[in-house]
A = this chain, B = another copy of it.
């Protein structure tokens, strides 16, 4: 352990980190810890939560381009490229080259993709209910509202 006399120990930055902690590290930890439970519920349909998120976005708005879908989900477009590949292999989504601009890919759910997604929804609900139970209703709902704001503010830019 560092000696108390280290000059850095007196810095405002250091004290802030040790006393308040880091927003993103808490976000990340909360994500990891809760995602595991969700993934366990989803195992029955062999979908991870990122995959479920992708199918859900396409269910709501089909025929998006890679860039648009990536922005909606909040991942880098290159991440989406790899993630879609797995769903494509399983026949859950399809990519077509757009007729008007051959650079663009149009991503769509297949009937199997839609069916699997709808089968996953009640499993998701169980996971969501389990988390709410562990965290308590008050905390869950407050957190939910604030996260909605956070994602909105970060997604735009």
Given contacts A24-B35, A30-B150, A139-B150, contact A121 B50 (CB under 8 A): no
Within 8 A of B (CB), among A15-71: 16-18, 20-35, 38, 49-50, 52-53, 56, 59-62
Q: Which residue of B lies closest to A144 (CB)?
A: B23
Chain A, interface residues (CB within 8 Å), range:
35 or more
Given A24-B49, A128-B22, A135-B153, residue A29 in contact with residue B121 (CB < 8 A): no
A14 CB contacts on chain B under 8 angstroms: 118, 121
Q: How many copies does the complex hold?
A: 2
Give the docked Cα–Cα distance between A150 and B53 (Å).
22
A97: interface (CB < 8 Å): no
A53 to B31, CA, bound (A): 15
Lowest 7 CB-CB distances: which A-B pairs, in order? Answer: A29-B74, A13-B125, A26-B147, A33-B154, A27-B31, A30-B150, A8-B118
- 14 A-B pairs, CB-CB below 8 angstroms? A6-B118, A13-B122, A14-B118, A17-B124, A17-B125, A18-B60, A23-B132, A23-B144, A26-B151, A27-B31, A27-B147, A33-B151, A135-B153, A143-B143
Residues of A within 8 A of B (CB): 1-2, 6, 8, 11-14, 16-18, 20-35, 38, 49-50, 52-53, 56, 59-62, 73-75, 114, 118, 121-122, 124-125, 127-128, 131-132, 134-136, 139-140, 142-144, 146-151, 153-155, 157
